[in-house]
Amino acid sequence: MRLSDAGRDVTLAGWVQRVRKMGGMTFLDLRDRYGITQVVFDNSTDAALNEAANHLGREYVVQVKGTVAERTAKNPNMPTGDIEILATELKVLNASEVPPFTIEDDTDGGDDLRMRYRYLDLRRSPVRANLELRHRMTMEVRRYLDSKGFLEIETPMLVGSTPEGARDFVVPSRMNPGQFYALPQSPQTLKQLLMVSGMDRYFQIVKCFRDEDLRADRQPEFTQIDCEMSFIEQNDVIELFEGMAKHLFKEIRGIELTEAFPRMPWADAMKYYGSDKPDTRFDMKFVELMDILKGHGFSVFDNAAYIGGICAKGAAGYTRKQLDALTDFVKRPQIGAKGMVYARVGEDGTVKSSVDKFYTQETLQAMAKAMDAQIGDLILILSGDDAMRTRKQLCELRLEMGRQLGLRDKNKFSCLWVVDFPMFEWSDEEQRLMAMHHPFTHPKDEDIPMLDTDPAAVRADAYDMVINGVEVGGGSIRIHDSALQAKMFEILGFTPEKAQEQFGFLMNAFKYGAPPHGGLAYGLDRWVSLFAGLDSIRDCIAFPKNNSGRDVMLDAPAALDQKQLDELKLEVVLPEE
């Protein structure tokens, strides 16, 4: 309701946000999904009604009848701040105990408490706004894909277990004792079968499940915008889903993106950013310094397999305390660097470093030139005996510097595609090559001969969309030839019998005229959290799990009673304490 509704008789229902008594009047803030409205009870016109309002508690569910009137003391911070309701009738629909935390934008409830009472947390306007944003995004996704000829098709939630990728959540089958379903990590093989069946444009907003360690952008169950297309090449998929991204930016955030998103080869992403999801809102690219800094008697560098640095523009004023804190940051166990070297370009143009005694000014100037460091800039350098690991450490340092210098603005968006991923990566745990994406990814045509000679060098027709350092989606062109798929399984260590047992249904389907196809899956939770400016995906999910994978509201997972275990022919063996 707004000022134009003044004089109308209305009925409102909702929850009591707060009650304030001022002289002979009582003011009630009534909250529902749409906001807060002030209701006024006047003792001079109805003393009994005013007395009843004084006995209301927070979160009581009430119904109020009254007349819309213009407020004398308006509140510009509320959409309804120009009006109030002059109450004529009050009905308590349900009383409430005092809630365990305040139902306000800035609540006094911690994460664990709010998760335990998530149904109360959802009453808070920031959380509700996130779910409304999620709804709007799913509607726009459906509208966009429908306009492009896609069909929304559901796939099963109970499927067979897959040996590659993350761990499956498994479901025992009562009717098939000793056998198990798995909850799908993605509908990958099923959507490929839909392409074989002639459903040339499929999508699904689908729940997926992975039993893996959790972090801010990961939950055991999450939602994908899952898509697949037939008779296409990589460029077709990229252009269509870049179009979807631009559509969402325009319709949801009001941001018009007209330029094509840059495409960065995976090798360049790792070389210059140490990550396959680089945050390109700011520069600070890595510069390799091996040729300049090796061989000068500083053993840390002389024995290193990689020396790389970043240049923080205008940060030469960092104090020794700040630099020591950065050194402690990179030495954290989760990052693992042994130390950090720094250098500043002074007002007179000279370079002063923490290892001055090993280097002449001429060498330090050469380093500054290579880094494109100017007066007032700070150079930070890491080294190590493993280039890939050191680049990842330098990536964490770069992101931390970006945060400290205010370069990671949540209202600024930098989008790109990372392309040309390796087909395989080595697993120390498995002691074999593993598929970097999944076993159904098509290798680049020009690299197929290397499957026999140097499979580790083969690149994939795979692509990820990255926004602000977050992988919001990824996909690939798929293998549609059963012989090539069999070759892929062979490289991954499958015997022909094992491949047939696990994926025979797919390879057999390829024998009946499988079209070239490919697709992409966007992470809906990540898109919503990105647009909402959240650091975690939890607050854009109605009922999320905590960092231990538990639903503390439902107290799940939980033990089964013995009768259920007997029906499922299961025996639980717990580890000894």
- Residue 562 φ then ψ, to 5°: -65, -35
If asked whether residues 60 and 150 sit together in one domain, one would say no
pTM, to two decimals: 0.91
Q: What is the mean pLDDT of residues 395-418?
A: 97
What rounded mean pLDDT belongs to the chain? 94
If asked whether residues 72 and 191 sit together in one domain, one would say no
Angle between the N-to-C axes of helices 387-404 and 266-273, in degrees from 0 to 180, rounded to the nearest 10 = 70
Say how many domains are in the chain: 3
Q: What is the mean pLDDT of residues 275-297?
A: 97
Express each pLDDT in 456-503 by its tens digit.
999 999 999 999 999 999 999 999 998 999 999 999 988 889 888 888
- Residue 391 φ then ψ, to 5°: -65, -35
Which pair of tokens denotes residue 541? 């999910």
pLDDT value of residue 523:
96
Kindly state whether residue 564 falls inside one of the protein's structural domains. Answer: no
Which of 404, 432, 453 is the endpoint of a domain?
404
Kindly state whether residue 268 falls inside one of the protein's structural domains. Answer: no
If asked whether residues 374 and 430 sit together in one domain, one would say no
If asked whether residues 450 and 398 sit together in one domain, one would say no
Determine if the peptide bond prior to 557 is cis (ω within 30°): yes
If asked whether residues 67 and 181 sit together in one domain, one would say no
Which of 349, 382, 404 is the endpoint of a domain?
404
Nearest to 389 by CA among 443, 355, 430, 428: 428
Kindly state whether residue 272 falls inside one of the protein's structural domains. Answer: no
If asked whether residues 375 and 457 sit together in one domain, one would say no
Q: CB atoms < 10 A from the CB of 76, how many?
A: 7
Express each pLDDT in 3-12 by its tens digit.
888 899 999 9
Express each pLDDT in 504-554 by its tens digit.
899 899 999 999 999 999 999 999 999 999 988 998 999 999 988 899 999
pLDDT value of residue 216:
65
If asked whether residues 317 and 286 sit together in one domain, one would say yes
Domain of residue 391 covers 282-404
Q: What is the mean pLDDT of residues 64-71?
A: 95
If asked whether residues 327 and 389 sit together in one domain, one would say yes
Q: Do β-strands 61-70 and 151-152 pair in parallel, antiparallel, or remain unpaired?
A: unpaired
Express each pLDDT in 320-356 by its tens digit.
999 999 999 999 999 999 999 999 999 999 999 999 9
Percent of the chain with pLDDT over 90: 85
Kindly state whether residue 198 falls inside one of the protein's structural domains. Answer: yes
Q: What is the mean pLDDT of residues 313-321?
A: 96
As a whole number of Å, the end-to-end CA separation of the chain is 61
If asked whether residues 290 and 226 sit together in one domain, one would say no
Q: Give residue 144's pLDDT band: very low, low, confident or very high (50, 70, 90).
A: very high
Percent of the chain with pLDDT over 70: 99
Question: Residue 381: which CATH number?
Answer: 3.30.1360.30
User: In the Cβ-directed half-sphere of 124, how many Cα atoms lie within 13 Å?
Assistant: 22
If asked whether residues 257 and 315 sit together in one domain, one would say no
Question: Residue 38: which CATH number?
Answer: 2.40.50.140
